[in-house]
Amino acid sequence: MGPNIGYIRVSTIDQNSDRQLDGIHLDQRFEDKVSGSSTKRPKLKECLNFLRSGDTLHVHSMDRLARNLKDLQGIVEDLTAKGITVKFHKENLEFTNDSNAMSKLMLQIMGAVAEFERSLIRERQAEGIQKAKQKGKHLGRKAVLNDTQVQELCRMVTDGMQKKDVADHFGISRQTLYRILKDQQNKG
């Protein structure tokens, strides 16, 4: 049996990855701090390129490795075809190149359940956002400029000042400037 390789993913920089694969001896570890929905997971790509036949890839849970069921199946099938063992600790599942039909079924079932859970979380999140909006709560970032500054910004643009200079004056990007102007036009 070859080296034990770990792949760890947390969704944000603030999240702590210590609980994932805690107590598992790893010869090498790769850690991403990105959303699972992102296709840009540089450490996963590095990990997949690093793995060799005989290695064991340890992952805390299926949802840490893949974005959806299709992605999960593809990664596991590619790795096991190369002689790499894939072990999911939370689900207590292990896949090898000689996995049987029952193992493949378990991968599909558990992957589908994980995908379903993520869908439920997104639905609950959307419902929570909708309820907050109905209650008049402000969502998102705090406004960059106050009402007086927005009025001054609009006046400067109307007076013909270059938009780049207006954005620099207020310390905002041109994209923010254009968004503010669009918001004012829609109000008005």
Q: How far apart are CA 67 and CA 81, in angstroms?
A: 20
Contact 3, 28 (CB under 8 A): yes
Contact 31, 21 (CB under 8 A): no
**DSSP string computed for 58-97:** EES-HHHH-SSHHHHHHHHHHHHHTT-EEEETTTTEEE-T
Which entry of 11, 17, 61, 103 is annotated as an active-site residue?
A: 11
The tally of CA atoms less than 13 A away on the side-chain side of residue 91 is: 23
Whether 53 sits among the annotated catalytic residues: the reply is no
Q: Which residues are catalytic?
A: 11
